[in-house]
Amino acid sequence: MKIVVLSVYNGQLNRGAETWSQQVVSMLSTNGASAVLVGGGDVLQSGDMTVVRTPLRDNSGMPTLASRFKMYGRIDSYACSLISFTVRSIQQGLLNDADIVIPINGFWEIVMLRLYRYVRRRSYRIVYVNHAGSEISREISVAAPDLVVLLKQNTRTGKLSPRIPSTVVPNGVSLCNYHVVAPPDRPTLVCVAALIPYKRVDLAIRVAAAGGARLHVYGDGPLAPSIRAQGKNLLGSAFHLTVLPHESMPAQYGLGTALIHTAEDSENFPMVFLESLAANRPVLTFDTATNREILGDAGIYAADFEDMKRLVRTQTFWRNVHHMIADAVPRKRAEKFDWSAVVLPRYMEEFSRLLERPQPWSQAISEPFRAKD
């Protein structure tokens, strides 16, 4: 079985979708499948997987076409980047013998893949993995991939056509990369987040200050200067801001007593949750359906910001955290998301089932643009 992952920003950005792309291709490669990651960035690391660079073109001068196609996704510079990236991936012959193609960036990649499949009678199946928020957009339903993979149960699918099959496969974590160590003696929180507004790292700083805890922040972004200033002002030498590559992060979670996560409730499936659990560290976060679905009994939930500050001020909170670590509650929770034992077998099962279906190019080329039920 050959699987091709198209991820236009791999090598350029390091978000959850790009991290997932690297992980799934690496896991597939090390477990006997033929897997290829196609990225558009300048810095692509191959490691134990096959990586192909398809450079992005500058389409910033392309005007937006205000037409009836707008309902399917505007044809602006971003759309043109996705279209040209997909076309050049096709021209390189990367899809000729593919069985499964996973377009990370959505609508226009799916449409171009369906067009090429129909014209050239290719047999690959298109699998869309929803990294973009807690709802499947109408655009994805219109593009009509062969399978939609949801990362969590409570994803809103009201706009997804009932003719498009969907399944739930959560994000995964490689437990073998995380070594469990004893927690530090002094209360210490770890925050792993991009330094952008919706991550609300400033709240994590204020919580740590309220609880008299040290805070290690790992991340970068446009708010770095203000985050650094606020951290030094409220925490002094107890504040540390560090930028590290993702492969260096497993050892950092053990430096804390718990992970603190204060982002807005718009993230689909925070990978930092699984990474913290794998390092046997519980997560302090807000009480939402998504957080509870992922963390289960390894989460410590606050009703709001004031409640979170109240929690960290109490000795009971820190005592409970140490009990959870001693009983390996987070690590046991992480076992439900282990790439090798749980997540990868689920993907292989879904891929095999999908390949048993009739040849997809027998569908009419107009199928993606038909009104959905």
Question: For residue 252, what is the domain's CATH number?
Answer: 3.40.50.2000
At 136, the amino acid letter reads I
Helix, strand or coil, per DSSP, at residue 353: helix
What's the CA gap between 199 and 203, in Å, rounded?
Answer: 9
Within this chain, do residues 141 and 184 fall inside the same structural domain, yes or no?
Answer: no
Q: What is the mean pLDDT of residues 343-347?
A: 94
Residue 22 has pLDDT above 90, yes or no: no
Nearest to 11 by CA among 52, 58, 59, 60: 52
Nearest to 190 by CA among 245, 143, 250: 250
Within this chain, do residues 158 and 288 fall inside the same structural domain, yes or no?
Answer: no
Encode pLDDT of 172-200 as tens digits. 999 999 999 999 999 999 999 999 999 99
Q: What is the mean pLDDT of residues 323-352?
A: 96
Inter-helix orientation angle 344-355/16-30, to 10°: 80
Which of 80-94, 149-163, 301-315 shows the highest mean pLDDT?
301-315
At 287, the amino acid letter reads D
What's the CA gap between 280 and 334, in Å, rounded?
Answer: 8
Of 32-46, 65-79, 138-152, 286-300, the one with minimum mean pLDDT is 65-79
Element (H, E) at 309: helix 305-312
Residue 289 has pLDDT above 90, yes or no: yes
Within this chain, do residues 214 and 317 fall inside the same structural domain, yes or no?
Answer: yes
Within this chain, do residues 188 and 329 fall inside the same structural domain, yes or no?
Answer: yes
Within this chain, do residues 129 and 194 fall inside the same structural domain, yes or no?
Answer: no
Within this chain, do residues 21 and 87 fall inside the same structural domain, yes or no?
Answer: yes
Count CB-CB contacts under 10 A for residue 316.
9
**Residue 5 in tokens:** 């992952």
Within this chain, do residues 165 and 197 fall inside the same structural domain, yes or no?
Answer: no
Residue 64 has pLDDT above 70, yes or no: no
Within this chain, do residues 180 and 99 fall inside the same structural domain, yes or no?
Answer: no
Pick 61 or 144 by higher pLDDT.
144
The mean of the pLDDT values for the chain is: 86
Domain span holding position 24: 2-172+340-369
- What is the pTM assigned to this prediction? 0.85
Of 55-64, 167-176, 257-266, the one with minimum mean pLDDT is 55-64
Q: Distance of CA 204 to CAs 258, 286, 311, 343, 357, Å?
A: 12, 12, 13, 31, 49
What's the CA gap between 140 and 45, in Å, rounded?
Answer: 29
51 pLDDT band, cuts 50/70/90, is low
Nearest to 8 by CA among 48, 44, 50: 44
262, 304 Cβ separation under 8 angstroms = no
Residue 71 has pLDDT above 50, yes or no: no
Encode pLDDT of 86-99 as tens digits. 888 888 888 888 99
What's the CA gap between 204 and 189, in Å, rounded?
Answer: 9
Within this chain, do residues 348 and 314 fall inside the same structural domain, yes or no?
Answer: no
The reported pLDDT for the residue numbered 62 is 47
The reported pLDDT for the residue numbered 7 is 86
In total, how many domains does the chain have?
2
Q: Distance of CA 174 to CAs 34, 98, 278, 336, 339, Å?
A: 20, 26, 8, 11, 5
The reported pLDDT for the residue numbered 372 is 45
Per the DSSP assignment, residues forming a β-bridge with 35 are 3
Buried b (16+ CB within 10 A) or exposed e, 210-222: bbebbbbbbbbee
Within this chain, do residues 19 and 111 fall inside the same structural domain, yes or no?
Answer: yes
Residue 68 has pLDDT above 50, yes or no: no
Q: Around 119, how many Cα atoms within 13 Å sit in the side-chain half-sphere? A: 7
Q: What is the mean pLDDT of residues 276-303?
A: 97
Within this chain, do residues 13 and 159 fall inside the same structural domain, yes or no?
Answer: yes
The reported pLDDT for the residue numbered 56 is 55
Within this chain, do residues 161 and 265 fall inside the same structural domain, yes or no?
Answer: no
